[in-house]
Structure 1
Amino acid sequence: MTKELTNSQSTTPPSELELGAKARTVLQAARKIFLTHGFNGATTDMIQREAGVSKSTVYAHFANKETLFLAVIKSECEVFTASIHNITFKPGNLTENLRRLGYAYLQVALAESAMALYRVVIAEAPRFPALGHMFYNSGPLVVKGKVSKYLTDAVASNELNFETISIEEATDVFVALMRSELHLLYLTHPDKPITKDAIDRWVEITIDFLVRSYGC
């Protein structure tokens, strides 16, 4: 497996939107199998059966299991980040703006499929560094870029003031505070999804801290 993983690390899978119908069928089957069984527990035979295609069809579109795994990671990250792209800062109500951003972020971070993906990536990243890199660059880093733009707009409208820290550091603070214990709890307690009341309460606590600390 080590040789295959090494070869796969230099391969960037295409976006799901660039794939044909057969390849998308294989990719969706692989998503279900990988997120259910993990990387080691999944086999191309399982993916083939789930997709209802021949093994030659699987290999015609994806060179090996590792390449297919990377394609699943990239596709899932694209889905997660799409939900936050339309969140824009609207000057005039800092608290409501931060609330909208907080809920949008947690909708991504605490989604059941996102948590399943996170568990698989963390389990495999030590042996498959390219997987961890792709996940971070395609998912969390993209979301951080959106948060950074949002906070930058809030500073430009004189509603936030980060005199002592950079926008990048402020972004890390926002992400760390918002994700916080909720993410860890759901990560380690998959049988106990986070309640809406818990999310509502944590969003308000985080917003109150940020406004008191950096609001103009």
Structure 2
Amino acid sequence: MTTQILDDGVKTAQAGTGEESTKRRAILEGARAVFRSEGFDGASMGRIAQVAGVSKGTLYVYFQNKEALFHDLVIADKAEAAERICNDLADGADLSDSLQGIGERFVHMMVDPQHIQLLRMVIGAAEKFPKVGRAFFEAGPANGMARLAGYLQRQEADGRLDLNQEPELAATHFLNLCQGNLAKKILFGVMEAPDAADISRTVASAVRVFLRAYGTK
């Protein structure tokens, strides 16, 4: 097991092998359950250790404090989400279909109740612990945006898109079009999660608008 020191001096244990990796995963799973049920401020290291099935002493071997544990949990969850959204991107496939698939996976993730819980926790913790907010952004939104921008740039090289040499801006436009107001309304408790048909319809509209703006004739 190795130890990484974050910018603010908080130490967080990195994944090892065998029993260490298994124990670390158990701690992260326990932390996920406690943070979701009790929120960041309400969660305690003692409760996390209890749910994870480890001693409090063992918990502190892996994570110096609650902030370090939350930091690693955020990175793990958001990196996995970014991977799911941008997987199976075949450059030669139909562009409209590929964008539809990316958009639907993105919106389903954005409106998922567990993601909404995590987002609310990160927003609540970011003022007190800004590095947690930065870790969330870099592992999730920034990571996913960079992967999508790379895909769009390859489509431009193949003559399918004209991004005006701004692939990151185009990726931002596309993802914002896809989610519309769906995620914001759920985040603020205005509506329940939309069904698959609503998501598909919203994304299809986003794809049409995006291709009108960036598609080549």
**For 1:3-152, what aligned pairs fall within 5 Å after superposition?**
9-11=8-10, 13=12, 20-91=21-92, 93-152=94-153
Distance 1:160 1:15, change over 3 A: farther
Is the CA contact (8 Å cut-off) linking 1:13 and 1:74 kept in structure 2?
no
Q: Unmatched 5+ residue regions in structure 2? A: 1-5
| 1:10–1:148 Cα change, 3 Å | farther
The structure-2 alpha-carbon separation of the partners of 1:149 and 1:87, relative to structure 1 and needing over 3 Å to count, comes to farther
Aligned to 1:156: 157
Identical-residue share of aligned pairs (%): 27
1:26-84 deviation digits (Å, cap 9, x = unpaired): 11101111122111111112112211222111112111111111121112112212213
Which has the higher mean CA deviation after the structures are superposed, 81-90 or 55-64?
Answer: 81-90
The CA RMSD over aligned residues, in Å, is 2.3
Q: Is residue 24–residue 62 contact of structure 2 (8 Å, CA) maintained in 1? A: yes
The answer to whether the 8 Å contact 2:178/2:206 transfers is: yes
Report matched runs for 1:156-175 at 5 Å: 156-163=157-164, 166-175=166-175
Q: In structure 2, what residue type is equivalent to 1:175?
A: L
Q: Distance in 2 between matches of 1:73 and 1:146?
A: 19
Query: What SS does structure 1 have at the residue aligned with 2:30?
Result: helix
Cα distance in 1, alignment partners of residues 11 and 147 from structure 2: 23
Q: Distance in 2 between matches of 1:128 and 1:214?
A: 39
Determine the C-alpha separation between the residues in 1 that align with 2:11 and 2:200. Answer: 38
Could you list the structure 1 runs, at least 4 aligned residues long, displaced by more than 6 angstroms after superposition.
none
Report the counterpart of residue 193 of structure 2 in structure 1.
193
**Aligned-partner Cα distance in 2 for 1:83–1:191:** 25
Task: For residue 12 of structure 1, report the CA deviation from its aligned partner.
Answer: 6.7
State the Cα distance separating 1:17 from its structure 2 match.
7.3
Contact 2:67/2:132 (<8 A) preserved: no
Q: TM-score, normalised by structure 2?
A: 0.86
CA contact (8 A) 1:39 1:124 kept: yes
- TM-score by structure 1 length? 0.87
Judged with a 3 Å threshold, the aligned counterparts in structure 2 of structure 1 residues 100 and 16 are, in CA distance, closer, same or farther, namely farther
C-alpha contact (below 8 Å) 1:89/1:154 kept by paired residues: no
One-letter amino acid of the counterpart of residue 176, structure 1: N
Question: Structure 1: any 5+ residue segments left out of the alignment?
Answer: 1-6
CA offsets 1:124-181 (integer angstroms, 9 cap, x no match): 1111100100000111111001110111121112111123x61121111112111221
May I ask how many residue pairs the two structures share in their alignment? 209
d(CA) in 1 for partners of 2:191, 2:16? 33
What is the deviation of 1:212? 1.6
